[in-house]
Amino acid sequence: MPPYISTYPRYIAGAIWSKDPHAEILYTTIDQVRESFDRAIDIWSTVDIAILIAGMIVPGKYIGGTPISVREARTLFSDPRLEDVPKILVGPWARYGYGQQGGKVALDSLSLVPPFDYVASGDPEMVIASISEEHWNPEKGLLDACAKTPQDVEEYAKRGARIVSQHPGFNRKHVIAEIETYRGCARFLTGGCSFCVEPLYGAPRQRNPDDVVKEIGALYESGVRAFRIGKQADLFVFGSTEMGEEEFPVPNPEVIESLFSKIRNVAPDLEVLHIDNVNPGTIAHYPEESKSVARSIIKYHTSGDVAAFGIESVDPEVVRRNNLKVNLEEALTAVRILNEVGSGRDDSGLPHLLPGINLLYGLPGESKRTIESNMEFLQRLVDEGLMVRRINIRQVIGFESTRIIDDDRSRLKRNQFFKHKEAVRSSIDRIMIQRVAPSGTIIRSAYLEGDEGKGYLLRPLGTYPLLCRMASGPQPDGISDVVVVDHGPRSLIVLPYPIHPNKISLAQWRSIPGIGNKRAVRVKAAGPLTSVSQIEESLDNPLPEWLKQVIAFS
């Protein structure tokens, strides 16, 4: 989803251009298509092949866009104007089935035939490459074609980089490229987590770090300035010599150090370099090596980074039944270690590298104890003064190819799940976001995402970027710096930085804690304001020190 661009469109474009360097490729997101279905279908009716990349493994709500629905896919690709155009479905929908809502079982991908003529169960780029070898005849291509080695896709990764220029956020530099370091999961040796599709890839297949760097160099030359090293089960074990031999391989800090330093060399003026998935079990098993990895990342990345911990549950029965990664004490150890190394702040004011917690419900073995165990874990984070960037609470999508489908359906009731989720939002989330970004924190280069009621939504680029809400007033520029003035459970209340007292609106004055409507009216009526003391006199109240530091009168 925007602002991200995944490997799928880039690798597919690279596979096409490897066969035909002059081929015309049109890349369009579903949100662009929604502007006019009719116009999109008119264009598609002229193409040789139409490829839909669709599906998500992890359910969630998105700010940047909304994933395509089954209804939309059927409506679009059933149009009579596309009758003679070969239509190919690729991605998670094709490989695992389609599920868009947590707590439900995904439906078989073959139920989308029609409107799709072909459903590619293999790696999309390899399927398209196979079709290209058959003179673009899908009937003769291998729909289950998969890469045998990472090197099979390296040329596609580099050649496909220039498709990013068609991303809807490219012209305003609002695009971040997802980078893959390996496929599969080291825990495939024990079957991995019950619900996860990663172990289905078999033994992990690691890319050569220099090939990763070359891909980033090609993306950088194409105009990309933001990168997330995120398409892998656990970045901390990338480069480990024990990958494929041990369930918890020993991290190799030297490989991570080399990778990130070389990224900085080929992309010297990058604006974002973040990561994503990290196995908390790796950190709990190998604390010193993990600290070294984290320090290497921090040395070269950009702050505000998040290591997503797939903890899922700390209920002992759920951990056992689903072969999860860590128990409660191991999860706490991983959070403590990453706080120790990554909680420091640079000039941006944001912590360098914090954990993000993923909790998952709908797993076999759940009971009332599951909620109690998970709340105990989260409360201990609060009590110890630790920080996590965010807590994702989701319901699992059941894919037929995973073990979760074969288990009994003893799960939490839907109302129990939502009551628990609300409890976390009200008692844990606000505390955490206040610790991560206290009042007075400056958020650099926040992008205007759109209007929301009587205000604006903004976010910086990055991994799980902080959602910023600004009360109505002068519309922010496309990219602007903002300062935190208050907190919601999952978002920040911000004002333009620096705060110009004579320019902000009445509603924006009211958004500052302790001012309220009457004081806001008084201070607006007192203008033009020329000093902090004048503001305090108008408010009949002293300003907090953090607020004084972010006010400017010029």
Q: How many CB atoms lie within 10 A of CB 428?
A: 19
Short-list 522, 233, 541, 450, CA closest to 358 = 233
**Side chain identity at 63, as an amino acid letter?**
I
Task: Give the CA distances from residue 385 to residues 206, 343, 346, 428, 460, in Å, rounded to whole numbers and listed in that order.
Answer: 37, 11, 20, 12, 26
How much is the pTM? Answer: 0.94
For residue 99, pLDDT beyond 90: no
For residue 106, pLDDT beyond 60: no
58 confidence band (pLDDT: 50, 70, 90): low
pLDDT of res. 405 = 59
pLDDT of res. 408 = 55
CA 343 to chain centre: 20
Tell me the mean pLDDT in the region 64-85: 92
- What CATH number is given for 175-436 in this structure? 3.80.30.20
Say if CB 297 and CB 268 are below 8 A apart: no
For residue 413, pLDDT beyond 90: no
406 confidence band (pLDDT: 50, 70, 90): low
467 confidence band (pLDDT: 50, 70, 90): very high
pLDDT of res. 509 = 96
Say if CB 170 and CB 159 are below 8 A apart: no
pLDDT of res. 396 = 87
For residue 100, pLDDT beyond 70: no
In this structure, the strands spanning 182-183 and 205-206 are antiparallel
Which residue has better confidence, 66 or 236?
236
Angle (deg, nearest 10), helices 328-342 and 287-300: 40
15 confidence band (pLDDT: 50, 70, 90): very high
Sorted by where each begins, the domain ranges of the chain are 4-133, 175-436, 442-549
Distance separating alpha carbons of residues 224 and 237, to the nearest angstrom: 26
Short-list 479, 475, 477, CA closest to 454 = 475
pLDDT of res. 535 = 95
The string of DSSP codes covering 157-169 is HHHGGGGGGGSTT
Choice among 13-27, 65-79, 101-115, 493-507 with the minimum mean pLDDT: 101-115
pLDDT cut 70: percent of the chain above it: 95
pLDDT of res. 105 = 58
Structure tokens at 509: 């004055």
Short-list 372, 376, 370, CA closest to 396 = 370
Helix or strand run (H / E) with residue 393: strand 390-395
**Side chain identity at 120, as an amino acid letter?**
A
Distance separating alpha carbons of residues 253 and 290, to the nearest angstrom: 8
pLDDT of res. 410 = 59
For residue 255, pLDDT beyond 70: yes
Mean pLDDT value across the chain: 93
SS3 212: helix
SS3 372: helix
Distance separating alpha carbons of residues 86 and 139, to the nearest angstrom: 10
For residue 62, pLDDT beyond 70: no
CB neighbour list of residue 80: distance below 8 Å, 6 or more residues apart: none
Short-list 421, 432, 424, 333, CA closest to 382 = 432
Distance separating alpha carbons of residues 294 and 431, to the nearest angstrom: 25
Distance separating alpha carbons of residues 289 and 294, to the nearest angstrom: 9
For residue 102, pLDDT beyond 60: no
Tell me the mean pLDDT in the region 395-406: 69
Say if CB 404 and CB 398 are below 8 A apart: yes
Structure tokens at 428: 């844990």
Question: pLDDT tens across 129-188, in order?
Answer: 999 999 999 999 999 999 999 999 999 999 999 999 999 999 999 999 999 999 999 999
Q: Residues of 518-553 as b/e, b for ≥16 C-beta within 10 angstroms?
A: ebbeebbeeeebeeeebbeebbeeebeeebeebbee
For residue 101, pLDDT beyond 60: no
Say if CB 89 and CB 52 are below 8 A apart: yes
pLDDT cut 90: percent of the chain above it: 83
Task: Give the CA distances from residue 383 to residues 113, 386, 389, 391, 428, in Å, rounded to whole numbers and listed in that order.
Answer: 53, 8, 16, 16, 10
pLDDT of res. 74 = 93
Sign of CA dihedral 222, 91, 304, 324: negative
Choice among 72-76, 106-110, 182-186, 259-263 with the minimum mean pLDDT: 106-110
Question: pLDDT tens across 368-378, in order?
Answer: 999 999 999 99
Residue with tokens 């809807």, as numbered in its chain = 168
Distance separating alpha carbons of residues 76 and 37, to the nearest angstrom: 7
For residue 361, pLDDT beyond 90: yes
- Name the DSSP letter for residue 429: I
Structure tokens at 132: 């290209």
